[in-house]
Structure 1
Amino acid sequence: MSTPEQVSRIYKVRKTVFQMLRDRGYSVDDSEINMTRQQFTQHFGERIKRDELFIHKSKEQDSSDQIYVFFPEGQVGAGVVKNLAQRLKADNIFSAIVVAQNRLTAQAKHGVEEVNKLIRMEVFEEKELVVNITEHVLVPKHVVLSNDEKKEMLKKYGLKDLQLPQILVRDPVAKYYGLRRGQVVKIIRESMTADEYETYRLAV
């Protein structure tokens, strides 16, 4: 049986995943985000089977754009990565998030790099998702621009994308939003002299 602490931890992690998916434009019900700890236990039981935590979602604006979220049990090695990649290929799914209990093995990391040549597989450790980083008081609002919005913004200010300040794709907030290299994020901050002001960052 999972300990109460373990159940609470994975409950919080899964809630953050749902919030993250919604913030990326996937269709997520309020009931999934607002599920209580008690409802979570009633649904999954006290003995959590991680494969039952699996999530499958589609984009709000494009139902063909789908993503799988896996919660593999134990240490994630190269074999696990290979099996997940095979499932994605069989189901014709090109995006996935893997929520690992611990750090991946070196072989698994290499496997993910190979998988990402064909599809997109992101990896988060549980500890990265226990708390939703975007809800921290010091983290301003981030809005990922579409390609058209990026072009319009660059034209408006007479800039090239490489002239923008940068944000690393491995930055925790960039990871949360799934930023890819070349994408631009608008950051909205409160101002002492105005209601808010906007800045832009290029993901590198």
Structure 2
Amino acid sequence: MNQIVGGLNPEASKMFRVRKTCLKMLSKRGYVVDENALQMSTDQFRDKFGETPSRDSLTILAEKSDDPTDQIFVFFPEDEKVGVNPIKIYCQRMKTANVYRAIIVVKINLTPFARTAVKEMSLRGYRVEYFRDAELLVDITEHKLVPEHIVLTDQQKLELLERYRLKVSQLPRIQIADPIARYMGLRQGQVVKIVRPSETAGRYVTYRICV
């Protein structure tokens, strides 16, 4: 018998946590996220999505706080290993809605053909990221050992380089595959400001460029 967790069965409980992490991730990327959705309880989740919610019903669409035309979808495909067909459906949905960014949250992984389809979408101006459920069960930025990360705008990056008379090549690096880089949706060339607490200075600030 499935154990009920917080009023939800195990699968629904998992999706409650995964979707909440996605909402927090979007918020930290600068997208507008409904506060009620962020604070949703397990009971409210069950009332809205049902005892056994379909993953498709959990789809999210959000817009940037400083540019409502910059929107992003978050899709939750049903298949354990997502093939080409769902990718084509998502691509058409994005095209119809005039949305060029998406996150696909998969149970296990994308098939090799699906990964190729995602790469082909990038050549047409779309940016599609993907995460596994297991990667989003907890919000990694809330761990006590993870410092605050703030993505700089292009203008802020330029001002940083001019202020310290630095070349881009002189900045420390963060790999694009780094979990925090993926969480923040960093692109190559973007700079992230990292703020750590310091016993002497109050806080210690460093910068890294995504490569």
1:172 equivalenced with 2:179 (yes/no) = yes
State the alpha-carbon separation in 1 of the partners of residues 122 and 143 from structure 2: 30
State the alpha-carbon separation in 1 of the partners of residues 169 and 89 from structure 2: 38
| Residue of structure 2 in register with 1:87 after alignment | 93
State the alpha-carbon separation in 1 of the partners of residues 120 and 135 from structure 2: 23
Which one of the candidate residues 50, 68, 73 is aligned to 1:68? 73
TM-score (norm 1): 0.96
State the alpha-carbon separation in 2 of the partners of residues 100 and 201 from structure 1: 29
**CA-CA distance at 1:192 after TM superposition:** 2.6
1:195 equivalenced with 2:197 (yes/no) = no
TM-score (norm 2): 0.93
Q: Hey, which of these two has a bigger chunk of strand by percent?
A: 2
Which one of the candidate residues 125, 140, 143 is aligned to 2:150? 143
**CA-CA distance at 1:38 after TM superposition:** 1.1
| Residue of structure 1 in register with 2:59 after alignment | 54
Deviations 1:90-137 (A, max 9, x none): 221111111111111111111111111221011111111110000001
1:9 equivalenced with 2:22 (yes/no) = no
Count how many residue pairs are aligned between Structure 1 and Structure 2.
203
**Long gaps (5+) in structure 1:** none
Q: Per the alignment, in what secondary structure is the counterpart of residue 176 of structure 2?
A: coil
State the alpha-carbon separation in 1 of the partners of residues 84 and 75 from structure 2: 15
The more displaced of 124-133 and 71-80 is: 71-80
Which one of the candidate residues 106, 110, 113 is aligned to 1:107? 113
Identity among equivalent positions (%) equals: 47
